[in-house]
């Protein structure tokens, strides 16, 4: 009741005095609220500054924002796109109504560099607003503004290498599919081929035709948007999970008689092969489906699911290009046949080539995935540097020891397994994994996969190849990869 007594005493004072004390008292609360609001507004302002300075550049490069790009293009000549070796990949020529976007390499960079019109694709889209910003000296820009001359947009330096791109493009020949090469230590995308392709110089005239061609979908960049069954390349993931559960891999043994039956599913080896007595290394090297079905049947599904998530299945990829998410159905509740199918890369699992390249790059780079990048620097039209992008680590996908064991397995593929066509390289050695992914009822048809890296002792570059319907990975995809590696190491 002390409270009440105090109140009584309070009323005993003169009204004015009490009001004044009261006032002082209440202002404390008002002060607190004022400060809370000031802090909230400062935080809001900080957010806006942060967004404008650091996030807006990548955010605004969106096809839904193309109207603003058009408006900028009225005042700025779209800048150049240049390769890592200094060649012009795209530039604007002519002026006024004659202004056209020219791609000197034609269809070679059709998907990687892309095209600027029709909403934009490739680097043209990724760097859309950078190309339309001028960082020329201010006096020059003002002079141009005053004279009503368009200013020159900035030049974008890519990580793409014309020599490597050409090698990949030629080696891939008339196949449908994709080739992608990544520098495993920096994440730089060195080459990216997708076929069928088109000549971006003629995009306006070809647009309707290319768009309507649903059978070949030439406009789709298969390297990042193509979802394929991974086939035996998925055994990298299954092997990783096995290694995690059994760090001593020498304990594994299996006798392959051509097929493996577990509960009510039977898995057969590719083209009816019988591999005989195997350990983990030879199971992997010879890509034995029966052995890997056996391995999968023993794996902890919950942990397998976690490993897949860590390798970015069913989730976002750090891809500068627009991409599709890979999917795999392994979890607590999935049925045994589904899991076993997934474990050998068949069933409903789907991956994009760039995703497979990222996994391979992480294996090669001691378990760490460097964030893939395609733009390395921005310069103004006169060549003065504006900005450089340094390589950044994206995530550790596996431990150093796990990656070492996987590298050993992948090396064995070339030494004694399905990757034998990659033997005898000049001055460097390749490691990798082949895949022959069945994609229809007709079991004789398969997509040919190869994903690998080189040199084995100090990996620099990862290459992933997918050739649609081209048969076995070892026969069709590995030789393409070899030519890409050769081109890189003969430089």
Binding of residue 44 to other proteins (CB under 8 A): yes
Instruction: Please report the DSSP string for 247-309 in residue order.
Output: S-GGG--EEESSEEEETTEEEE-GGG---EEE-HHHHHHTT-HHHHHHHHHHS-HHHHHHHHH
Q: Which region among 35-43, 154-162, 241-249, 354-362 touches other proteins (by CB under 8 A)?
A: 35-43
Residue 52 or 388 with smaller CB distance to other proteins: 52
- CA pair distance 117, 101, nearest whole angstrom: 9
Residue 44 or 93 with smaller CB distance to other proteins: 44
- CA pair distance 49, 42, nearest whole angstrom: 10
Residue 224 or 460 with smaller CB distance to other proteins: 224
Residues ≥6 apart with Cβ < 8 Å to 386: 135, 154, 377, 378, 379, 380
Binding of residue 71 to other proteins (CB under 8 A): yes
Q: Which region among 15-23, 243-251, 372-380, 429-437 touches other proteins (by CB under 8 A)?
A: 15-23
Distance of CA 462 to the CA centre of its chain: 13
Q: Which of 293, 275, 295, 294 is nearest to 285 (CA)?
A: 275
Binding of residue 25 to other proteins (CB under 8 A): yes
Rounded least distance, CB 28 to other proteins, Å: 8
- CA pair distance 317, 434, nearest whole angstrom: 23
Using CB under 8 A, pick the residue from 10, 13, 38, 392 that binds other proteins.
38
Q: Which of 221, 270, 229, 202 is nearest to 113 (CA)?
A: 221
Residue 20 or 382 with smaller CB distance to other proteins: 20
Scanning the structure block, which residue is given the tokens 């070899």? 482
Q: What letter does residue 150 receive in the DSSP assignment? A: P
Q: Which region among 50-58, 188-196, 351-359, 472-480 touches other proteins (by CB under 8 A)?
A: 50-58
* Side-chain half-sphere CA neighbours of 394 within 13 A: 26
Residue 49 or 93 with smaller CB distance to other proteins: 49
Site for other proteins in 95-114 (CB under 8 A): none
Q: Which region among 23-31, 78-86, 446-454, 462-470 touches other proteins (by CB under 8 A)?
A: 23-31
Binding of residue 39 to other proteins (CB under 8 A): no
Rounded least distance, CB 22 to other proteins, Å: 7
Measure CA of the first residue to CA of the last residue in the chain; give whole Å. 92
Using CB under 8 A, pick the residue from 29, 426, 442, 458 that binds other proteins.
29
Binding site for other proteins (CB under 8 A): 19-20, 22-23, 25-31, 33-34, 37-38, 40-41, 43-45, 47-49, 51-53, 55-57, 59-60, 62, 64-65, 67-68, 71-72, 75, 129, 142, 145-146, 148
């Amino acid at each position: 009741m002390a409270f009440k007594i105090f109140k009584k005493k309070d009323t005993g004072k003169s009204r004015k005095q009490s009001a004044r004390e009261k006032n002082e008292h209440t202002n404390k609360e008002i002060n607190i609220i004022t400060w809370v609001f000031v802090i909230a507004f400062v935080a809001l302002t900080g957010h806006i500054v942060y967004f404008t300075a650091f996030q807006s550049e990548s955010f605004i490069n969106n096809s839904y924002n193309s109207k603003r790009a058009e408006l900028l293009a009225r005042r700025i000549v779209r800048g150049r796109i240049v390769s890592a070796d200094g060649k012009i990949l795209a530039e604007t020529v002519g002026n006024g109504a004659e202004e056209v976007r020219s791609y000197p390499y034609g269809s070679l960079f059709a998907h990687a560099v892309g095209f600027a019109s029709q909403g934009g694709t490739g680097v043209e889209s990724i760097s859309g607003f950078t190309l339309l910003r001028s960082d020329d000296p201010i006096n020059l820009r003002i002079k141009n503004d005053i004279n009503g001359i368009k200013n020159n947009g900035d030049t974008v330096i890519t990580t793409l290498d014309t020599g490597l791109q050409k090698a990949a493009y030629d080696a891939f020949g008339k196949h449908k599919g994709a080739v992608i090469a990544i520098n495993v230590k920096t994440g730089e995308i060195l080459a990216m081929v997708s076929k069928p392709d088109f000549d971006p110089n003629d995009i306006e005239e070809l647009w309707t035709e290319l768009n309507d061609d649903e059978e070949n979908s030439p406009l789709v960049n298969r390297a990042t948007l193509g979802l394929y069954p991974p086939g035996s390349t998925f055994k990298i993931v299954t092997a990783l999970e096995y290694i995690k559960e059994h760090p001593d891999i020498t304990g594994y043994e299996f006798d392959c008689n051509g097929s493996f039956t577990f509960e009510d599913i039977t898995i057969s080896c590719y083209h009816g092969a019988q591999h005989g007595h195997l350990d983990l290394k030879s199971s992997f090297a010879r890509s034995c489906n029966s052995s890997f079905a056996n391995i999968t049947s023993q794996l902890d599904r919950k942990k397998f699911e976690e490993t897949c998530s860590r390798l970015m299945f069913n989730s976002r990829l750090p891809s500068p290009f627009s991409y599709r998410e890979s999917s795999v159905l392994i979890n607590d509740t999935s049925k045994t046949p589904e899991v076993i199918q997934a474990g050998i890369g068949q069933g409903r699992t789907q991956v994009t080539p760039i995703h497979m390249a990222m996994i391979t790059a992480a294996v090669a780079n001691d378990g760490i995935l460097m964030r893939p990048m395609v733009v390395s620097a921005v310069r103004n039209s006169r060549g003065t540097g504006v900005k450089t992008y340094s390589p950044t680590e994206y995530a550790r996908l596996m431990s150093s020891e796990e990656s070492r064991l996987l590298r050993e397995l992948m090396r064995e593929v070339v030494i004694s397994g399905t990757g034998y066509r990659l033997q005898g390289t000049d001055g460097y050695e390749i490691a990798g994994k082949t895949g022959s992914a069945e994609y229809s009822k007709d079991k004789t048809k398969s997509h040919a996969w190869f994903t690998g890296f080189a040199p084995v002792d100090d990996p620099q570059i990862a290459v992933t190849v997918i050739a649609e319907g081209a048969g076995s990975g070892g026969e069709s995809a590995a030789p393409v990869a070899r030519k890409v590696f050769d081109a890189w190491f003969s430089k």
